[in-house]
Amino acid sequence: MGILDWFKNRQGQFDSDHVSPEMMDWAVEEAVTVTNPKLKLLPDCRKRLMPAIEATARFLRPQLMSLPAAQLLSPGAWSADPVLRAFFVAPADIQEVLRDSDNLRGLFDEHPELDMAYAALGMGFKVQQVFGMAVQGDTVRRDVAQTSASFSDHRARLCESDEQRLRRVIGVEIFEYLLSQAMFRIGEDREERQDLQTSRSLMRTRLRLLQQHGPGLGSMLGEAPAGKSEQARLEAELLENERQMEALGGGDSVLEAELETLADVLGNPQRYIHFDSKRLRLSRMNLVVDEGSTEEAFDIDFAVAEITGSTPMTRAFILVRVLRADLPPPKKLDIDDASRYL
């Protein structure tokens, strides 16, 4: 059972007010199992990871609590809801997002008693300067500098049966993301160690040949012999290689380094992900309107997640409620169209 399933099945875990010992024990076990099960061989492995996991929990608690309440995501609500109008050009775009969400459909299929589900709606988000028309006094002016906001690439993949469970599952996803970043860093160290070992083997072979047989075929063909200068260079490179290998460690020291990396990532989650609550005052044309303006505008609240790890990404998102009745049927496969590609 993965960590996501474990959190889903335990209503009291990852509580915003306190972190249970049961959750901590399991989180340590999962972190070690995912990165390197041999870490269990190190003394006090659990004790050394606990503060880092507690740091992750402290980081997540206010982040998850600050997310706005779930917004109804319904094509029928689009015309009267300024938030949906800001995020979607037309009601059909909402239908398309719901139709493409296999996870939402799977949740409703798995729980026939549910009339409503909750999901995290992720979106691409861009603010840019544009030039357009604006009324200034009694005059309509052209080429006025304006700021527009646009939202695209809507996806609703993470979903749950109630809002609290959804918030916890988002926390789990972040925890798993941090584990992936620890694995990425550990993998880089392993690759560096492997490269150094390969280089050392090649240098030793070259040095041995020079010592046993001289500079090789090149000398016979008229090239100047490498002689002692090349031997000295190889010996210096070998010493540097050994110094780098010693810095990376070996045996138990490798496990120690990997445990330190895991603890460092979990102990500093803010280096890898950041949530920011954002509010824009937007017109019906999704233009940013100043607070003092008399133009009709609406406050649009959402969160922005900035991921700064191995694959940087910035996405806007909100929590949404979805009615079973609003879920369109899945797209049907067009046999005639598909046959053209066979």
Predicted local confidence at residue 265, as pLDDT: 95
Which one of 124-138, 146-160, 201-215, 244-258 scores highest in mean pLDDT?
146-160
Higher pLDDT: 180 or 237? It is 180
Distance CA 85, CA 121 (A): 15
Higher pLDDT: 310 or 303? It is 303
Distance CA 178, CA 268 (A): 9
Report the share of the chain in percent with pLDDT over 90: 47
Predicted local confidence at residue 15, as pLDDT: 47
Predicted local confidence at residue 151, as pLDDT: 97
pTM of the model: 0.75
Residue 17 has pLDDT above 50, yes or no: no
Predicted local confidence at residue 22, as pLDDT: 83
Predicted local confidence at residue 24, as pLDDT: 86
Confidence of residue 303 (pLDDT cuts 50, 70, 90): very high
Confidence of residue 30 (pLDDT cuts 50, 70, 90): confident
Give 67's Cβ-side CA count (13 Å radius). Answer: 27
Contact status, residue 160 vs residue 118, Cβ threshold 8 Å = yes
Predicted local confidence at residue 16, as pLDDT: 40
Confidence of residue 241 (pLDDT cuts 50, 70, 90): low
Other CB atoms within a 10 A radius of the CB of residue 169 amount to 19
Predicted local confidence at residue 332, as pLDDT: 73
Distance CA 305, CA 273 (A): 7
Distance CA 332, CA 327 (A): 15
Predicted local confidence at residue 218, as pLDDT: 43
Predicted local confidence at residue 224, as pLDDT: 46
Across residues 275-286, what is the average pLDDT? 93
Distance CA 245, CA 250 (A): 8
Across residues 217-245, what is the average pLDDT? 58
Distance CA 14, CA 59 (A): 12
Contact status, residue 248 vs residue 207, Cβ threshold 8 Å = no
Residue 104 has pLDDT above 60, yes or no: yes
Q: What is the average pLDDT value for the chain, to the nearest integer?
A: 81
Predicted local confidence at residue 327, as pLDDT: 95
Residue 247 has pLDDT above 90, yes or no: no
Across residues 73-89, what is the average pLDDT? 96
Predicted local confidence at residue 217, as pLDDT: 43
Across residues 138-147, what is the average pLDDT? 73
